[in-house]
Structure 1
Amino acid sequence: MAQHVRDIMTSHLVTVEPQTSVTTVAQKMRDEDIGVVLVTEGEELRGLVSDRDLVVRALAEGGDPEQRTVASACSGDLLTVTPDEDLDQAVRLMREHSVRRVPVVDQGHAVGIVSLGDLAIERDPGSALGDISAAKPNQ
């Protein structure tokens, strides 16, 4: 059984700059079949935007999604973990802060993301969330 965040984190990261349009971010999510994108400025992690953030913070507010930037939809107050963080500690943090995904940062640089789905696959693969998370994406 995995003991550290690095053992289960997703290391394929998709990043965008804060001035990227909401439409472009949504297209990246579709094309990459992902539900979260990291918002970076240069090498610095500035935020995280999920598919839900796009709907609740951008689209529901109205306006032109081509003109609205991802900066207006992203979560800027980030909780992060390190690759060497104990998985139990990561779970505690996610529960305490009610978050589904957490960027993994090593020496100030984003190196991965750990999600509830990753944890379910590792800790409870027979659960509904574990099954869904391990399944091939719908196309």
Structure 2
Amino acid sequence: MTTAGEIMHAGARCVQEDETLMDAARIMSELDVGALPVCGPDNRLHGIITDRDIVVKCLAKGKNPDHMTAGHLAQGKPVTVDAGADSAQVLRTMQDHRIRRVPVIDDHRLVGMISEADLARHMSEEQVGHFVEVICR
């Protein structure tokens, strides 16, 4: 059985909730990723922001990414999976919530992220195809 801990990209870097969206965009560019976990002063996961969030919820509304913080966009409780969750549970969680990336948690701490690319490397073509079909509806 393959677990989330085996599928994930380890060492996900957080953007702090008080950092600006410009900071978040720079980090995304440096890491070549499209999403970042948002962590609070307690270093626990408080949300996720994507490059699309920055464009749609900040830039397209004429707001300044140098003034808006990551915490402002990281609203609601993030969907996560436990590092010990099996691959079927990871797929179900991502499909049920129609998300393309999911943070992996171990002992209440962020330990990694799973993206579509990670799924493609660890699952059958049929599983990945079904996942993409569900997500893109």
Q: Same fold (TM over 0.5)?
A: yes
Report if the CA contact (8 A) 1:13-1:111 is conserved: yes
- Secondary structure of the residue that 1:47 maps to in structure 2? strand
Partner of 1:5: 4
Q: Deviations over 1:91-122 (max 9, x none)?
A: 01111110011111111100111112210122
TM-score, normalization by structure 2: 0.84
Displacement, 1:15? Answer: 0.9
CA separation in 1, counterparts of 2:97 and 2:86?
A: 17
Root-mean-square deviation (Å):
2.2
Unaligned runs of 5+ in 1: 130-139
CA separation in 1, counterparts of 2:74 and 2:55?
A: 11
Partner of 1:63: 63
Aligned length: 128
Partner of 2:119: 119
TM-score, normalization by structure 1: 0.83
- Secondary structure of the residue that 1:94 maps to in structure 2? helix
Displacement, 1:75? Answer: 4.8
Displacement, 1:14? Answer: 1.3
Report if the CA contact (8 A) 1:58-1:72 is conserved: no
Report if the CA contact (8 A) 1:53-1:74 is conserved: no
Q: Deviations over 1:4-38 (max 9, x none)?
A: 11111011211121111111110111111111111
Report if the CA contact (8 A) 2:58-2:64 is conserved: no
Report if the CA contact (8 A) 1:48-1:76 is conserved: no
CA separation in 2, counterparts of 1:75 and 1:9?
A: 23
